[in-house]
Amino acid sequence: MAVSSHASFTTSLINCYLSCKDLDSARKLFENYPSSRPPTLVWNFMVRAYSKINNSRESIFLFSQMLASSSLPDKYTFTYVITSCSHQISLHHGEIIHGLAVKNGFDSDLFVGNVVIYMYGVFARMEDARKTFDEMPERDVFTWTGLLRGYAKGGEVGKACELFGEMPMRNEVSWTVMISGFIGCERYIEALKYFHDMLYEGKVKPNEATLVSILSACAHLGALDQGKWIHEYIDVIGFPFSNNILTALIDMYAKCGRIDRAKQVFIGISKRDVFNYTAMITGLSIHGLGKDAIQVFSQMLMENVMPNDITLLGLLKGCSHSGLVQEGSSIFFSMENSWGVVPRIEHYGCYVDLLGRAGYLERAFVLVKSMPIRPDIVIWMALLSACRVHRDSKLGEQIVRHIELLDDSGNSAGKVLLSNLNASLGKWERVAELRHLISDKRNKSNPGQSWIEVNGVVHEFRVDDQLHPQIAQIQEKLIEVLKQARLGGYIASTSQVSFDLSEEDKEQAVAYHSEKLAVTFGLMSTEPGTSIRIVKSLRTCDDCHSALKAISTIYKRELIVRDRSRFHTFREGMCSCNDYW
């Protein structure tokens, strides 16, 4: 067979192997190519193949071999290898190859320009991405979307919005990038608005990534009505219920307080994967249903679905919220041997939280000091919170010293917790010392937010809110609500308020917490007897917890509150957490 015919046959065979995803066989043929210098087309086949499997190192190595063999790269070569650079840890290779593309005259090529913009966006080099964009003689929807993705991924949502408004054309990816960008910046209400704008415009339909993202926004906001509507929309348009969408639905229903609906979705899945199981286990855990989470986990193992690190994290949280110390200990110490998961700092944090909540403070303290990973401030704060719950100021003082060694940013959150602990014990001299230190550091605490969905519209409240259009009526109604709650036995808990205020001022300080405003708005805006659902960004405080118990009795309402760590369902003066949170 002539060399040229042999080479042509080998090229076809390499392409055939790559089409069948047999990269090893294709590589062997490539290494023994009949010609001393394979054509550019064959190099492109190989570079693209490694790019597709995110093997950036091998893609770049082949490109360097190609240059050394004096083969000439074309626009496709640069497109594939720059795409590979986007997956590389270092930007260095990408800059060099971009320079080579310019040197070889491909800087004005549409496809090369698009992947360069994408690459610079991945590494948050938006000035370089914008410069490439501005210099391109031709642009398509992928050019615009690549720059948009860079801004959104880097948290520059303002610039992303501006660019989005200028886009001459948009596809489903453009819309999804904007929606995901808002979610990444915790601007969930705007994500919902853009989703509805997308549907209203009607030019493109959402894809799987859009639907998963928007269900995530509903989950964060606790927007049950919106989430149910999206579920129905997916069904009506005949969009396939992939496992990704089913996982997002389980997560959404669980985080919106409808664990029963989450279970229905979960039970209806014919072949469950690790993500379905993880969403269900985590959902049960945040509802304080630790034993149910363990049962689902047992079912998972019986079906030979291996848990991942997130599954076990959710399971440990369930044990923590339910006080299952023995079960949680067994899971924690079996992680590596049984399921091949090396405990990360988050797993240690959960286990420390489990021990601390249950009152095993010294045991938790010993564990933190003996960790193979350096404990972070989150773990120490979790232990300090447990000291506050169990009124152990001596251990609390030791923990604050560890927190201060870790945090030199001026954040005095540890001292705030310790001050609250001492205030609850009536140690006012120590409180005075701590408050003086806190004021010196000019601590800025997160005021927290609460959200409530009424008639499909999500309303946001902050502590002592003045921005809601009905705030005057809400505050007036709240005074009446708290008055009725006191008649029902509620006594304001002011131990966490600065001691240098009068008792009346202390009560005023806790009266306008965001969830009280949200619940009051719910009482004003919904029919008597209907449940009120609230999502809160911080942990529910002792005072709000007591107040909501009384309100649930006086107004005969079920109040469902999801705080930073779990659900609280208040009904007839009781809470589902049994005061264990």
Residue 464 located in a structural domain: yes
Residues 542 and 489 in one domain: yes
pLDDT of residue 340: 94
pLDDT at position 292 over 80: yes
Question: For residue 8, what pLDDT is reported?
Answer: 82
Assess contact for 461 and 518: CB atoms under 8 A.
Answer: yes
Residue 430 lies in a domain: yes
> The dihedral of CA 395, 401, 406, 411: what is its sign?
positive
Domain check: are 488 and 546 in the same one? yes
**Domain end call among 413, 441, 469:** 441
Determine whether 32 is exposed, middle or buried from the number of CB atoms within 10 Å of its CB (0-12, 13-18, 19+).
exposed
467 shares a domain with 416: no
Is-contact 520 481, C-beta < 8 A?
yes
DSSP string, 5-38: HHHHHHHHHHHHHHHTT-HHHHHHHHHT-SSSS-
467 within a domain of the structure (yes/no): yes
Describe the crossing of helices 3-19 and 40-52 by its angle, rounded to 10 degrees: 10
- Sheet with 449-454, side-by-side order of all strands: 457-462, 449-454, 532-536, 559-562, 567-571, 574-575
Domain boundary among 383, 412, 441: 441
pTM score, two decimals? 0.83
Same domain, 518 and 546: yes
Cα–Cα distances in Å, from 458 out to 163, 224, 226, 478, 563?
27, 10, 9, 20, 16
- pLDDT at 540 > cutoff 80: yes
| 459 found inside a domain | yes
Q: Are 374 and 487 contained in the same domain? A: no
The residue with tokens 């704008």 is: 197
pLDDT in tens, 200-256: 998 999 999 999 999 999 999 999 999 999 999 999 999 999 999 999 999 999 999
Residue 322 CA, distance from chain mean position: 23
Cα(481)–Cα(521) distance, integer angstroms: 11
Do 507 and 570 lie in one domain? The reply is yes
Domain that holds residue 526: 450-575
Residue 218 in any domain: the answer is no
Mark whether 400 and 365 lie in a shared domain: yes
**Phi then psi dihedrals of residue 532, to 5 deg:** -115, 125
Residue of 310, 345, 343, 308 lying closest to 329 (CA atoms): 343
Residue 289 has pLDDT above 50, yes or no: yes
Range 383-420 burial, b when 16+ CB lie within 10 A, else e:
bbbbbbbbebeebbeebbebbbeebeeebbbbbbbbbb
490 with 562, same domain: the answer is yes
Residue 330 to residues 112, 325, 403: CA-CA distances in angstroms? 54, 9, 29
466 — pLDDT class (breaks 50, 70, 90): confident
Question: Which residue's entry shows tokens 């910046």?
Answer: 185
Is 516 part of any domain?
yes
99 domain residue, yes or no? no
- Considering the domain architecture, whether residues 568 and 458 belong to the same structural domain is answered as yes
Q: 527 lies in a domain? A: yes
| 107 vs 28: CA distance, rounded Å | 33
Q: Residue 508 above 70 pLDDT?
A: no
Count of domains for the chain? 2
Q: pLDDT tens-digit profile of 412-435? A: 555 566 666 666 556 656 666 666
Which of 398, 418, 441 corresponds to the end of one domain? Answer: 441
- Mean pLDDT over 134-142 rounds to 94
491 with 560, same domain: the answer is yes
Q: β-strands 449-454, 532-536: how paired?
A: antiparallel
Rounded to an integer, the average pLDDT of 456-482 is 90
Quick one: 409 and 497 in the same domain?
A: no
Residue 132: what residue type? T
The whole-angstrom separation of Cα 268 and Cα 235 is 14
429 and 458 share one domain: no
Higher pLDDT, 429 or 154: 154
- Give pLDDT, residue 242: 95
Q: What SS3 class is residue 535?
A: strand
The DSSP call for residue 538 is: S
